[in-house]
Amino acid sequence: MGIGDGLSRTFLSWPVVRQVTGADPLGRGPAARSAHTDGLTARTETADRVARSVCPYCAVGCGQLVYVKDEQVVQIEGDPDSPVSRGRLCPKGSASKNLVTSPLRQTTVRYRAPFGTEWEDLELDVAMEMIADRVVKARDDTWQELDDDKTVRRTLGIASLGGATLDNEENYLIKKLFTAMGAIQIENQARI
Amino acid sequence: MAEAHPVGFQWVMEAKARGATVIHVDPRFTRTSALADTFVPLRVGTDIAFLGGVINYVLQNGLDFREYVVAYTNAAVIVSDDYQDTEDLDGLFSGFDPATRTYDPASWQYAGRDSAQDGDDQDHVVQRETASALQHETHGIGVESDPPRDETLQHPRCVYQILKRHFARYTPELVSQTCGVSTEAFLEVARAFTENSGRDRTTALVYSVGWTQHSVGVQYIRTGAILQLLLGNMGRPGGGIMALRGHASIQGSTDIPTLFNLLPGYLPMPTAGVDDSLDDWLDGISHPGSKGYWANARAYGVNLLKAYWGDAATAENDFCFDYLPRITGDHGTYRTVLDMIDGKVKGYFLLGQNPAVGSAHGKAQRLGMANLDFLVVRDLFEIESATFWKNSPEVETGEIVPQECRTEVFLMPAASHVEKEGTFTQTQRMLQWREKAVEPPGDCRSELWFFYHLGRLIRERLAGSTAERDRPLLDLAWDYPMLGDTDDPDAEAVLMEINGYDVATRRPLSSFTEMKADGSTLGGCWIYTGVFADGVNQAARRTPGSEQSYVAPEWGWAWPANRRTLYNRASADPQGRPWSERKAYVWWDASRGAAGEWTGHDVPDFEVTKPPSYRAPAGSDGVEAIEGVDPFIMQGDGKGSLFVPKGLIDGPLPTHYEPVESPFRNPIHGQQANPTRKEYSRPANRLNPSPPEPHAEVFPYVFTTSRLTEHHTAGGMSRYVGRLAELQPEMFVEVSPELAAERGLQNGGWCHVVTARAAVEGRVLVTDRLSPLRVEGRVIHQVWLPYHWGTGGMVTGDSANDLFGISLDPNVLIQESKAGTCDVLPGRRPTGRDLLAFVEGYQRRSGVHDDHARPIVTVGPGAQAPDDGDETPDPAGGT
């Protein structure tokens, strides 16, 4: 390939040349296209599948389409079918791919021992066993059968806060388990 | 709305394009103001005065929608001779006891009511402690179904006349003086509101936590409700009062509550000594003798108990009712945090919530967490509530020393919304099912996984126990199909349990009317019954909006029974005809069915075959007692409550009280602030003084907080996200040019804001989005802060919620965190120990440094007496 070939190809490939010489004087159609453009494919087109979802931020409930390729989320867009949002997302909703793929996501258990100054690693199943032990002990240590002769059957030693960002099914199991345990200080953002 | 719910705001703009007038009332000019026809800045904490002024305008000029008001509200009902108003008692209602700062509401009852009947369900001390007052709101006020009425509205003790007298003081001049709004701007709003209400037109009110996070927050919304009922804007298209809630499923977590005082479907947690038996509990909900669907509470309660305890729940053992733990007082999140500081709480779970930044009085939150045996944080990121022991402001001041802090912390990584399936309930009660897109990474798990397996492990540990206390765990129905390699419980199976089914055949119930009280059906949340109607997951429906009516009934599923607008019987006149063709929504069609049916664009919120002409047989109650002209089918009298004879701790009508921290004496009544508010007086919770106390001038400015479009509440889902952190990278403080000049603040420079709790710094943003207001003859400056920052994430900064103390609305125990007083100084705040000394200096100068008991009641017997607040005695009765 000679130098002249390269120059002329470069020069002739300028969009403005195509715009002036071609059938697209406003430069809003074919003139603006290039080989590079033609080589691009939207991630939404090459995705393996699309999941219908809902934005996790505020309570408007905008529809989201979650595009997945090779078991990774590659794009999240507004769902144009949604009568709530008609395909729109706000800055937060538009950043939700960034949310779920953030490099700061915590993906392993972190453990801070009493009086510790740093995090330690812990296996998930070990952590679960430890938490179960502590719940059983706290419940035993703080169990209250009576309050002024009135039956209360509860513990005031275990509390929980959270739920407004969670699913109904999750809140249902949370309340069911804590209630059976006798824990009553179960609260969420709706009190705040 | 354009800032915090931008996509919802498109519908406001759609309405504006069709000719609607958009009015924005807010302390600060925002993106919403920029797009509104009218922007009215007002003083923080004066919304009741403003709306009360509009109510007065309606009543003085006879602008109420009279036919609607007479037929559908309690305007005509005659109230007891003994009732005395705030007009008579300088800001208190009759029945006030200054010793407990609560009311005996006997004198608020409808005339002819035997007050002895009110008995023990009316103890306001207990109700305030348990946030149970509003159970009457969801359960319908338990008033008798047929009180005396004067439909001419002339009787001096009818609700309409009481209302007129109560609000007569709220003149345009008083509104102007109190709110800092010009009379012209106020009258423009009043005129627009009334001209856009009636047969042909409706007006909607939209609010967020700017109305709820006050010591008188419930009454803010009540004021809106009175206005909307007077103007006929409830149950009609384009009307209503819209709560724009701020979290994806905060509505769902209220319906299927993770709240101390509620069980699913707004069934109350039983109170010790009150709900001693299944019958006591259920009668307390159903109010025998009242109208409405709560009369079926037995079925709802039994179905929940069957869903919880399955085969173990039988008619013989009252369906395991005794397995439910009992509440005895205030077990709300703020009480619990103070109990942590006092060492009473051992373990704490935080589930997608970051109270170190997001709750009022951040220092109290963090000191509480530093005094636990163990803390479990389940989150996507390493949020501040997981790291208080190593990088909180208290580590900097030396109040938390890592080597001395005993709390064991488990940070458990959570699955995101695309890594699990399930339903969110959005702000208009609509459930939408989310499909799972991918598996969660690493050790990330859903709450469904975490709580199912935690329950399994606890039950394994207790297996074989003979202790009575372990029966509720061992007998728990805890058997769900498992999916995938990680053994995730099947969310659809949980949703099916929530919906309910026939125990023998497992046929899903299609309506809560199919629930049986004999144990043959079960269902975990009666208001959600129908989400699995016909065995189909209705929440997963996705008929495109463009292929259905504007009501869009085939997208998701709304409780109850897929109704999109509640109380929509009120969209038709008493005869069942649309109030106007333009506003037709639901109406009676005599030609449908055997003898006529209700029909329309939405699912009628009424028995479909009950004609408008139906009148209840004498002596009936429950559903049978709802007459053809009673749209408010959950209320004990079927009517909208302009006046609330029971159910509210702070009075049957809203009245303007100053915020707990205010630079002004209440210009309307001698009672300064809400006398029934919940206040925890302790050294850790010092509040800035307000008139008539001395030294209010130490904190001369008013401040409030709200969200930025680019961040989400406590920042746990935005400061750790690159794009959003980049869009709003730094904490800032907005001040007017006038305040900047007064305090020497430089745009772009630093300033710090000080209260009796904390000093918080940020960059100064000098802007005319805030303007000084003239209130009670003098100029008041207001300061605005976003509250998203903390020590974690990609962008860090001080937390605005550290500035607030804890004082609570008495009805719902929600904190006043939208109004406070402060000082503002140029430059950065002191650090380390100096910071503590700096704040202590303000406490000393304002006179709140010692164990300061403030006067809460400021009129009548007991006025000005120091009040220790509501430090609850140890519920265990011990130390």
User: What's the pLDDT tens digit per position in B703-742?
Assistant: 999 999 999 999 999 999 999 999 999 999 999 999 999 9
**Quick one: average pLDDT of A6-13?**
65
A74 neighbourhood in chain B, CB within 8 Å = none
Residue type, B417: H
* pLDDT given at position A4: 55
Can you tell me the distance from the alpha carbon of B704 to that of B698, in angstroms, rounded to the nearest whole number?
Answer: 17
**Which pLDDT value is given to residue B116?**
44
Asked if A192 contacts B359 with a C-beta cutoff of 8 angstroms, the reply is: yes
Residue B374 CA to residue B105 CA, distance in Å, equals 43
What pLDDT is attached to residue B166? 98
Q: Is the pLDDT of residue B645 over 90?
A: yes
ipTM of the complex: 0.96
Cβ distance of B374 and A138 shorter than 8 Å: yes
Q: How far apart are CA B25 and CA B41, in angstroms?
A: 6
- Distance, in Å, from the CA atom of A78 to the CA atom of B102, rounded to the nearest integer, reads 50
Find the mean pLDDT for residues B689-698: 96
Q: Minimal CA–CA distance to B526: which of B276, B282, B235?
A: B282
Number of Cβ within a 10 Å radius of residue A120: 10
% residues pLDDT > 70 (chain A) = 94
- Is B244 in CB contact (< 8 Å) with chain A? yes
Residue B742 has φ and ψ, to the nearest 5°, of -65, -35
Instruction: Give CA–CA dist B482/B398, Å, rounded.
Output: 48
Alpha-carbon gap, residue A188 to B239, rounded angstroms: 29
Please state whether beta strands B38-40 and B96-97 pair in parallel, antiparallel, or not at all (unpaired).
unpaired
**A32 half-sphere exposure, CB direction, 13 A CA radius:** 5
Which pLDDT does position A5 carry in this prediction? 61
Query: Which residues of chain A have a CB within 8 Å of the CB of B556?
Result: 61
- Specify burial of residue B114 (Cβ count, 10 A radius: 0-12, 13-18, 19+): exposed
Handedness of CA A97, A99, A104, A106 (dihedral sign): negative
Contacts of B241 (CB under 8 A, 6+ apart): B204, B205, B206, B207, B221, B224, B225, B228, B234
pLDDT recorded at residue B879? 33
Q: If you count residue pairs, one on A and one on B, with CB atoms under 8 Å apart, how many are there?
A: 489
- Is residue B433 pLDDT above 80, yes or no? yes
pLDDT of amino acid A32: 83
B348/A159 Cα distance (integer angstroms): 5
Question: Per the CB < 8 Å rule, is A157 touching B248?
Answer: no
> How would you classify the pairing of strands A150-162 and A183-187?
parallel
Overall average pLDDT of the A163-174 stretch = 97
Peptide bond between residue B861 and the one before it cis (omega within 30 degrees of 0)? no
Cross-chain Cβ contact A172/B498 below 8 Å: yes
pTM: 0.95
Per-residue confidence band for B873, with pLDDT thresholds at 50, 70 and 90: very low
Which residue, among B285, B785, B850, has the nearest Cα to B517 in the 3D structure? Answer: B285
Other beta carbons within 10 angstroms of residue B200's beta carbon come to 11
Helices and strands counted in chain A (H then E): 8, 8
* Residues of A (76-95) whose Cβ lies below 8 Å from B: 76, 80-86, 88-95
Question: Does residue A1 surpass a pLDDT of 60?
Answer: no
Residue ranges of alpha helices (H) inside A2-149 are 3-12, 15-21, 35-39, 43-46, 91-94, 96-100, 124-142
Question: Side-chain half-sphere of B597: how many Cα atoms within 13 Å?
Answer: 8
Among residues B460, B87, B252, B704, the alpha carbon closest in space to that of A175 is found at B252
Average pLDDT estimate for B446-459: 98
pLDDT band at A2 (very low <50, low <70, confident <90, very high): low
What amino acid occupies position B59? L
Query: Residue B323: which of A102, A159, A180 has the nearest Cβ?
Result: A180
A75 in Cβ contact with A51 (< 8 Å):
no
- The residues facing B542 across adjacent strands are B555
Contact B258 A145 (CB under 8 A): no
Torsion of CA B820, B823, B825, B829, to 10 degrees: -70
pLDDT per residue as tens digits for the range A33-73: 878 888 899 999 999 999 999 999 999 999 999 999 999 99
Check pLDDT > 50 for residue B430.
Answer: yes
| pLDDT tens string B561-573 | 999 999 999 999 9
The band of B867, judged by pLDDT with boundaries at 50, 70 and 90, is confident
Segment B158-211, tens digit of pLDDT: 999 999 999 999 999 999 999 999 999 999 999 999 999 999 999 999 999 999
Predicted confidence at residue B118, as pLDDT, reads 47
pLDDT tens per residue, range B69-112: 999 999 999 999 999 999 999 999 999 999 999 999 999 999 98
Separation between Cα atoms, residue B691 and residue B688, nearest integer Å: 10
For residue A19, is pLDDT > 60?
Answer: yes
Q: Cβ contact (<8 Å) for B724 and A91?
A: yes
Residues of A in contact with B432 (CB under 8 A): 54, 61, 63
Instruction: Scan residues 21-50 of B and list those with Cβ closer than 8 Å to A.
Output: none
Q: Does B242 touch chain A (CB under 8 A)?
A: no
- Is the predicted pLDDT of residue B136 greater than 60, yes or no? no
Rounded to whole angstroms, the Cα distance separating B654 from B656 reads 7
* Residue B708 touches partner A, C-beta closer than 8 Å: no
What type of residue sits at position A27?
Answer: G
**B110 DSSP β-pair partners:** B79
Structure tokens at B834: 């100096």
What does the mean pLDDT of chain A come to? 93
* Preceding peptide of B560 cis, ω within 30°: yes
A70 close contact with B: CB closer than 8 A: no
Helix residue ranges, H only, B9-154: 9-17, 31-35, 47-60, 66-72, 86-89, 124-129, 135-139
DSSP B737-768: HHHHHHHTPPTTSEEEEE-SS-EEEEEEEE-T
Pairwise CB contact (< 8 Å): A185 & B345: yes
Residues of B in contact with A189 (CB under 8 A): 246-247, 250, 253, 353, 358, 713
The rounded distance, in Å, linking the Cα atoms of B712 and B723 is 13
- Which residue from B248, B331, B374 is facing A184, i.e. has the nearest CB? B331
Q: Is B622 helix (H, G, I), strand (E, B) or coil?
A: strand
Q: Kindly report, residue by residue over B290-337, the tens digit of the pLDDT.
A: 888 888 999 999 999 999 999 999 999 999 999 999 999 999 999 999
- The set of residues, in sequence order, having a beta carbon less than 8 Å from that of B209 and lying 6+ positions away, is B246, B818
What is residue A30's predicted lDDT score, i.e. its pLDDT?
83
pLDDT on residue B443: 98
Q: Under a CB-based contact definition with an 8 Å cutoff, are residues B209 and B543 in contact?
A: no
Q: Which of B862, B875, B869, B872 is nearest to B92 (CA)?
A: B862
B512 touches chain A (CB under 8 A): no
> Distance between alpha carbon B399 and the CA centroid of its chain, in Å?
33
Residue that is written with structure tokens 């009360």 in the block = B52
Beta-carbon contacts of B392 under 8 Å, excluding residues fewer than 6 positions away, are B356, B366, B384, B400, B791
Token digits of residue A14: 């300028």
Residue B816 in this model has a pLDDT that exceeds 70: yes
In contact, B680 and B853? CB cutoff 8 Å: no
> Is B879 in CB contact (< 8 Å) with chain A?
no
Chain mean pLDDT for chain B:
95
Instruction: With CB atoms and an 8 Å threshold, state whether B410 touches A57.
Output: no
